[in-house]
């Protein structure tokens, strides 16, 4: 992969750190931002650290004018997003924004007792502030939006979510994506995504929490303290547009194999 411009990762949380490491492996020119760069960006060379806070206008000019941007925090509030974008999100700069599959409004849609499959044409809930910010950036500044499923990986281990009772054995469907796959898809989308387009990113295998809990219980004897109960139906996210457009092969196509690897490497992190 070649990059004409440096890439700035706006916001260096969980995904941002994986993105930085992957970009470095691919020898891409990368800069990372944080609101507290000295304490949060120890894994980045000092010269590649930027202080950036969407809420603090004085920090915006730290971004190199020729850099492409990967925006990894919710694009809110709208007024700040608009003010920032007016000055810093114009072509030829490429802009990619991480959204969420929670944008999709599926209230009431059930087919044969199952939630519908949702592609990028599904209706979104425009009352959600982050959806307003993303749609503004997409329609006015040609941002590429990735609608991201639940992110898991080392230090975000669904086995620990079950152990802690954050989730339990309900019939709700969940769509997940390993953070390593997300990092690869982000870089591909920045390079090859069509400006102004939206792509769903998930591993393509929605599962019921009940089934994940049964697997975890059978394999490791870990049972959620949360009771069974009525739940929402969840969603089933289609990822075919991204997979086809980016010709992507998942590093972690199978949740259970990924859990096995994480449990072997780090038994009690979540
Ligand atoms: N976690 C999930 O399962 C999931 C699912 C679907 C979508 N998403 C979305 O995917 C994206 C990446 O998720 P993630 O879990 O990797 O996020 P994360 O760990 O929260 O990282 C985002 C980072 O952005 C920075 N940030 C936050 N607000 C900011 C602001 N106003 N100005 C500048 N920087 C700001 C923070 O870093 P500093 O404190 O260092 O500045 C934060 O750590 C997010 O938009 C998230 O909502 C997440």
Distance 16 CA to ligand 1 centre (A): 8
Q: How far is the CA of 228 from the centre of ligand 1 (A)?
A: 30
CATH H-level superfamily of 74-154+175-205+235-251? NAD(P)-binding Rossmann-like Domain (3.40.50.720)
Q: Is the CB of 166 under 6 A from ligand 1?
A: no
Task: Tell me which of 10, 13, 144 to substitute to probe ligand 1's pocket, judged by most ligand atoms within 8 Å of the beta carbon.
Answer: 13
60 in ligand 1 pocket by Cβ < 6 Å?
no
Mean pLDDT over the full length of the chain = 94
Q: Quick check: 266 and 157 in contact, CB under 8 A? A: yes
Do strands 144-148 and 173-174 pair parallel, antiparallel, or not at all (unpaired)?
Answer: unpaired
Average pLDDT in the 173-198 region? 98
Outline where DSSP puts E strands in 72-215.
95-100, 117-118, 144-148, 150-152, 173-174, 176-178, 198-201, 207-208
Distance CA(111)–CA(125), nearest Å, equals 20
Q: Looking at ligand 1, which residue's alpha carbon is closest to its atom 5?
A: 150
Tens digit of each residue's pLDDT (9 = 90 or more) over 119-136: 999 999 999 999 999 999
pTM to 2 decimal places: 0.96
The pLDDT value given to residue 108 = 64
pLDDT 10s digits, 45-71: 999 999 999 999 999 999 999 999 999
Whether residue 184 has pLDDT greater than 80? yes
Exposure b/e, 123-147, CB count within 10 A at least 16 = b: ebeeebebbbbbbbbbeebbbbbbb
pLDDT value at residue 1? 46
Q: Going by CA atoms, what residue is nearest to atom 18 of ligand 1?
A: 13
- Give the closest residue to 186 by CA, choosing from 16, 32, 64: 16
What are phi and psi for residue 102, nearest 5 degrees?
-65, -10
Calculate the CA 182 to chain-centre distance. Answer: 6
- The helix (H) or strand (E) run that includes residue 31 is strand 30-34
Residue nearest to ligand 1 atom 25, measured at CA: 11
Closest CA to 178 of 199, 160, 200, 158: 158
Task: Kindly list the domain boundaries of the chain, sorted by start residue.
Answer: 74-154+175-205+235-251
User: Residue 4's pLDDT is what?
Assistant: 65
């Amino acid at each position: 992969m070649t990059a004409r411009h440096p890439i700035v990762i706006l916001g260096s949380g969980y995904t941002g750190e994986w993105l930085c490491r992957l970009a470095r492996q691919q020898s891409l020119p990368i800069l990372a931002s944080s609101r507290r760069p000295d304490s949060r960006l120890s894994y980045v060379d000092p010269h590649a650290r930027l202080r950036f806070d969407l809420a603090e206008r004085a920090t915006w000019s730290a971004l190199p004018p020729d850099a492409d941007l990967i925006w990894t925090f919710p694009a809110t509030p709208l007024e700040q997003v608009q003010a920032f974008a007016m000055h810093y999100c114009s072509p030829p700069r490429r802009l990619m924004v991480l959204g969420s599959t929670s944008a999709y409004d599926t209230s009431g849609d059930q087919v044969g007792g199952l939630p519908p499959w949702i592609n990028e044409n599904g209706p979104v809930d425009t009352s959600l502030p982050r959806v307003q910010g993303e749609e503004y950036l997409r329609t006015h500044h040609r941002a590429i939006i990735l609608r991201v499923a639940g992110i898991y990986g080392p230090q975000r281990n669904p086995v620990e979510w079950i152990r802690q009772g954050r989730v339990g054995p309900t019939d709700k469907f969940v769509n997940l994506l390993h953070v390593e796959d997300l990092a690869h898809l982000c870089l591909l989308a920045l390079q090859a995504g069509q400006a102004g387009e939206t792509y769903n990113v998930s591993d393509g295998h929605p599962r019921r929490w009940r089934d994940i809990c049964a697997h975890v219980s059978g394999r490791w004897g870990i049972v959620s303290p949360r009771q069974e109960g009525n739940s929402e139906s969840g969603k089933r996210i289609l990822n075919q547009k991204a997979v086809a457009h980016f010709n992507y092969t998942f590093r972690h196509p199978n949740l259970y194999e990924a859990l096995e690897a994480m449990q072997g490497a780090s038994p009690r992190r979540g």
